[in-house]
Amino acid sequence: MRRADGGGVPRPVLHAQELPAVVPSPEPDSVTYWKQAGQGRLVITRCPECEAFVWIPRPFCPVHMHAATEWVEVSGRGVVYSYTQVERGDGPFAESAPYTLAYVELVEGPRVMTNIVGTPGEQLRVGQEVEVVFHAAADGMAVPRFAVTRPPSRSDDTQASEIATQCDDLVF
């Protein structure tokens, strides 16, 4: 497992959690993601030729079709890119609403769909800094989610409104 800057000591995998930790049937292309999460590591596929992160996980770079991607551990830090509060959960999430579904933009660039935990949706802001947490799932796997690391400052508010303008057309 290679590491991007910021990878390193595995994070704790938490068992107490506010949302069900359900791994969607892991596919061959994604099982490494869920298993590494179970070890407290957030990993993303990257093309060894152009060094672009490839998300969602794919075995080959979409630009360099011959280049098999490699798994790289990333920092687990990012910002809220966009979010919405789910008012009515479905299936295993039926008892969990309201909860927050979000896109987090990792400092390495990829935007991952995830949940924000630990902060009610009405207190969240676009641009807020977040950090990965891991919620233990079955078979030694875990679900990566994100928690706010600090409240937004004034400069964050300015940045957030700029980002919000850019993602008006984002559709969940």
- Closer residue to Zn ion, CB minimum distance, 61 or 148: 61
| Greatest pairwise CA separation for the chain in angstroms | 46
What is the smallest separation between the CB atom of 62 and Zn ion, expressed in angstroms?
A: 8
Q: How far is the C-alpha of 168 from the C-alpha of 95, rounded, in Å? A: 30
State CA 116 to chain mean position distance. 9
- Closer residue to Zn ion, CB minimum distance, 65 or 171: 65
What is the smallest separation between the CB atom of 144 and Zn ion, expressed in angstroms?
A: 24
- Closer residue to Zn ion, CB minimum distance, 49 or 162: 49
Query: Which residue has the closest beta carbon to Zn ion?
Result: 47
Give all strands (DSSP E) within 7-141, no chain letters: 13-14, 43-46, 53-54, 70-73, 77-86, 99-106, 111-117, 129-136
**Cis peptide, bond prior to residue 116, ω within 30 of zero:** no
Per-residue string for binding with Zn ion, 33-72, x by CB under 5 A? --------------x-xx----------x-xx--------
What is the smallest separation between the CB atom of 70 and Zn ion, expressed in angstroms?
A: 11
What is the smallest separation between the CB atom of 105 and Zn ion, expressed in angstroms?
A: 20
Contact 47, 61 (CB under 8 A): yes
What is the smallest separation between the CB atom of 35 and Zn ion, expressed in angstroms?
A: 24
State in Å, rounded, how far the first CA of the chain is from the last one: 32
- Closer residue to Zn ion, CB minimum distance, 43 or 116: 43
Instruction: Provide DSSP, 2-42.
Output: EE-TT--SPPPEES--SS--------TTTHHHHHHHHTT--
Rule CB under 5 A: which residues touch Zn ion? Answer: 47, 49-50, 61, 63-64
